[in-house]
Structure 1
Amino acid sequence: MARAIVHMDLDTFFVSCERLSNSKLEGIPLIIGGGDRGVVASCSYEARTFGVRSAMPIRMAMRLCPQAKIIKGDMDLYSKLSFTVTQIIEEKAPIVEKASIDEHYLDITGMDKFYGCYKWTNELAQTVTKETGLPISFALSVNKTVSKIGTGESKPKGNLEIPEDKVRPFLNPLSVKKIPMVGDVTFQLLSRIGIRTIQTLSEMPAEVLQQMIGKNGIELWKKANGIDNNPVEPYKERKSVSTEQTFNQDSIDIHAMKAILIGMVEKLAYQLRSEQWLTSTVVVKIKYANFDTQTKQCTVSYTSADHVLIKTVVELFDKLYDRRMRLRMIGINFNGLVRGTYQINLFEDTLEMIALYQAMDKIKKRFGFDAVGRVGTILQNRL
């Protein structure tokens, strides 16, 4: 029996959320993002007709579409509405995977015995829009890759069914950029040797692709041929990430402890970005030599950026450590986590800062976490 996998994607989610709050934003070019040196987090279809795209520098977007209205963005609002949508879907679907703040995969295999899969999914999409006011698109096919590509082709406010015998005819004429794992670098590499459509890619020997782009070559070949056996994994929300360190000898060296805290933040923030989480609550914990344990916390705008979290942690530590007594342990906890499609806070950070984090994370992923970091942390680790 062929699988029935659905990909549901909220259309221009951030824009739709803002329009729910303010109906005057309907029908106008709208850009969600940071200030002049920031980037576009999301944009309306009206802005896209002028060439505006996500992750584009705000300044460039405004040159393309000077009449656009810019809104900083409200992650609290987006997170609440995302949670509501997830609840609606989980109440109806047997297996749900939340892929990001605005995307869900559903495994409804076998539902055709009782109810048409396409009809059921269409009614679920209508329920989401009716109860939240948010437009949503979906595609139904035999696996996650094909259904995700199908959703992209059905937007906005569209729906698409791609049965097993139609998978190859559907995929063949599309650009290789439509395959989820193909980024700009891979696309340029393939384009240089004349591979621009999925059909051409699918007809290449898998071994040649592996030699060209490494271990992902086989996986890319499979996706081009409509092969994807990855399961829909039931959605489980991570509540927090944390770490702590107990000293071999009780310490009163404030500078050393702050360096350790900064190192902890770097590791936890990298974990957040790697898993695409944002935190809203920062907690610092200390344990004195007499085993008295104290904590202090504060709320921050959703982020996973080192420089924001380091500043917050150091400030909390300064307020918390108010006795001239040796410390036995220090620790950090980031909670109030939400999923996001962006690895860092696009509403606050400049284009230069985003590029820096992406470069550092790429180096860490390839050569290990300790391959690059802040000077103070590296020096502390070598002492």
Structure 2
Amino acid sequence: MISLQHRSIAHFDLDCFFVSVECRDDNSLKGKPLLVGGISDRGVVAACSYEARRYGIHSAMPMKTALKLCPHAIVRKGDPEKYSKLSREVTEIIANHAPLYEKSSIDEFYLDLTGMDKFFGSMKWTAELRQEIMRETQLPISFGLASNKMISKVATNEAKPNGQMEIFFGEEKSFLAPMPVEKLPMVGKETAAQLRRRGVETIRTLSEVPITLLEAWLGKNGISLWNKANGLDDSPVIPYHEQKSISTENTFHTDTIDMKFMHAELVRMTEKIAFELRQQNKLTGCVTVKIRYSDFETVTKQMTIPYSSSDHILLEKVKELFHKLYDRRLLVRLIGVRFSHLVHGNHQISLFDDTQEMISLYQAIDNIKNRFGWQYLMKGTNTIPPGKKHEVKAPGIVPYPKVR
């Protein structure tokens, strides 16, 4: 059983982040149905304004469908590099003030302010930080302040747009009680439908269902939902470290200057750790390539990029870094790839350039990799040991090796 601790946790959320950035840079867009995403007929919506949501539009919807729902909507392609830069600016402001914070996504943050009431008053301090962020970035941001992460996130959602809310210790259950079950984090349409079929429509009713019965209905997820419905959450604020990374490297059996082989290895390694990113629901904001020559001299080069977890975007950056770094006169002993500056997030950050087909392709690829292993589906360029004859396959996605 989770015990409720008297903590002080703030949750910050940049309101309609991509849309807000576009409206900040073009005042004529304010108050209008605005869609940010792919501008082609096969593109998808990465974000939409509150005005557009009134027409039933939501993120990840095909742009063509969105424009049928709201033909007079304004479409902007979006600028992931600009959004990533602003996300980092907000992170720096928070890092300069908060004693402990977690960057949970490109536009969300948790701050642990436990104990600050003795000195400043957590609500006053948090409200002043919000004002500073808005003053420095000219972007709207909302926050919720409560005794745990879950309640603070729900409070933020209730405070939007561009608001703030405090839920006092001991009032968590009464705050949640009248809300529909969908208001709880991680309760999707399917789970909500299961609960409603059993007569559970509000969080109050959910909190009164015996925990053993919820477990029978929903498995372990039922236990988690019971705790949430009762306002209980002891998950910690995890300190944010830019150094956190995912990496891989390969020392060759034979030192080489074979460019086809090294390119194939870059593809293999990039796809491997990009898949790990997506598995962990993370995005990277920095790519590093490492080369060790036959004389053991080791060189690295890194590049800050718009947050992404897409193979085709990351591979382009990896190859660009490799060509800037590589000295063609020397044999190579080792190459490595590292993704750092990680934040929680999903494929949405890449929707500006992706078509529906591209998104479906990534989903299909990851489903196969989840089932059989990441190495069973790779780009058409295979890795072949130095010294062996190269066979360059046609571009595209091919199984490697064959799945029996």
Superposition TM-score, scaled by structure 2 size? 0.81
Counterpart selection for 1:17 from 21, 38, 51: 21
Percent identity over the alignment?
Answer: 52
Q: Deviations over 1:301-355 (max 9, x none)?
A: 54321233345656776898786986533332345x4636433511111123223
More displaced stretch, 258-267 vs 64-73: 258-267
User: Unpaired segments of 5 or more residues in structure 2?
Assistant: 383-398
**Cα distance, 1:123 vs structure 2:** 2.4
Aligned positions of 1:274-313 closer than 5 A:
274-279=279-284, 282-287=287-292, 289=294, 291=296, 302-310=307-315, 313=318
Aligned to 1:148: 153
Q: Distance in 2 between matches of 1:170 and 1:318?
A: 57
Tell me the C-alpha RMSD between the 2 structures: 3.2
C-alpha contact (below 8 Å) 1:79/1:338 kept by paired residues:
no
Q: Distance in 2 between matches of 1:318 and 1:227?
A: 52
Q: Distance in 2 between matches of 1:116 and 1:281?
A: 37
Q: Distance in 2 between matches of 1:206 and 1:237?
A: 39
C-alpha contact (below 8 Å) 1:288/1:326 kept by paired residues:
yes
Q: Distance in 2 between matches of 1:5 and 1:73?
A: 32
Counterpart selection for 1:127 from 128, 132, 154: 132
Whether 1:81 aligns to 2:86 is: yes
Q: Distance in 1 between matches of 2:314 and 2:231?
A: 42
Counterpart selection for 2:35 from 28, 31, 38: 31
Q: Distance in 1 between matches of 2:120 and 2:256?
A: 66
CA 1:73/1:329 → structure 2, altered by over 3 Å: closer, same or farther? same
More displaced stretch, 321-330 vs 124-133: 321-330
> What SS does the corresponding residue of 2:275 show, helix, strand or coil?
helix
Q: Distance in 2 between matches of 1:299 and 1:120?
A: 32
C-alpha contact (below 8 Å) 2:377/2:401 kept by paired residues:
no
Counterpart selection for 2:362 from 349, 357, 362: 357
- Opposite residue 61 of structure 2, the aligned amino acid is M
C-alpha contact (below 8 Å) 1:39/1:346 kept by paired residues:
yes
- Opposite residue 16 of structure 2, the aligned amino acid is T
Aligned to 1:348: 353
Whether 1:210 aligns to 2:215 is: yes
Q: Distance in 2 between matches of 1:240 and 1:113?
A: 36
Aligned to 1:194: 199
**Cα distance, 1:144 vs structure 2:** 0.5
**Cα distance, 1:155 vs structure 2:** 0.7
Aligned positions of 1:1-383 closer than 5 A:
2-35=6-39, 36-238=41-243, 240-250=245-255, 257-279=262-284, 282-287=287-292, 289=294, 291=296, 302-310=307-315, 313=318, 327-334=332-339, 337=341, 339=343, 341-343=345-347, 345-361=350-366, 364=369, 367=371, 369-370=373-374, 373-374=377-378, 379=400
C-alpha contact (below 8 Å) 1:363/1:371 kept by paired residues:
no
Q: Distance in 1 between matches of 2:72 and 2:265?
A: 48
**Cα distance, 1:271 vs structure 2:** 2.4
CA 1:133/1:311 → structure 2, altered by over 3 Å: closer, same or farther? closer
User: Unpaired segments of 5 or more residues in structure 1?
Assistant: none
> What SS does the corresponding residue of 2:47 show, helix, strand or coil?
strand
C-alpha contact (below 8 Å) 1:282/1:297 kept by paired residues:
yes
Q: Distance in 2 between matches of 1:61 and 1:137?
A: 27
Q: Distance in 2 between matches of 1:225 and 1:278?
A: 32
Alignment length (residue pairs): 380
Q: Distance in 2 between matches of 1:286 and 1:333?
A: 12
> What SS does the corresponding residue of 1:329 show, helix, strand or coil?
strand
> What SS does the corresponding residue of 1:374 show, helix, strand or coil?
strand
Q: Deviations over 1:123-163 (max 9, x none)?
A: 22222212221111111111100110111111111221212
> What SS does the corresponding residue of 1:233 show, helix, strand or coil?
coil
> What SS does the corresponding residue of 1:242 show, helix, strand or coil?
strand
- Opposite residue 32 of structure 1, the aligned amino acid is V
More displaced stretch, 121-130 vs 57-66: 121-130
CA 1:379/1:371 → structure 2, altered by over 3 Å: closer, same or farther? closer
Q: Distance in 2 between matches of 1:252 and 1:64?
A: 56
Superposition TM-score, scaled by structure 1 size? 0.85
CA 1:241/1:75 → structure 2, altered by over 3 Å: closer, same or farther? same
C-alpha contact (below 8 Å) 1:107/1:232 kept by paired residues:
yes
> What SS does the corresponding residue of 1:92 show, helix, strand or coil?
coil
C-alpha contact (below 8 Å) 2:83/2:306 kept by paired residues:
no
C-alpha contact (below 8 Å) 1:94/1:108 kept by paired residues:
yes
C-alpha contact (below 8 Å) 1:278/1:340 kept by paired residues:
yes
C-alpha contact (below 8 Å) 2:257/2:328 kept by paired residues:
no
> What SS does the corresponding residue of 2:248 show, helix, strand or coil?
strand
- Opposite residue 144 of structure 1, the aligned amino acid is K
CA 1:249/1:17 → structure 2, altered by over 3 Å: closer, same or farther? same
> What SS does the corresponding residue of 1:156 show, helix, strand or coil?
coil
Q: Distance in 1 between matches of 2:273 and 2:221?
A: 27
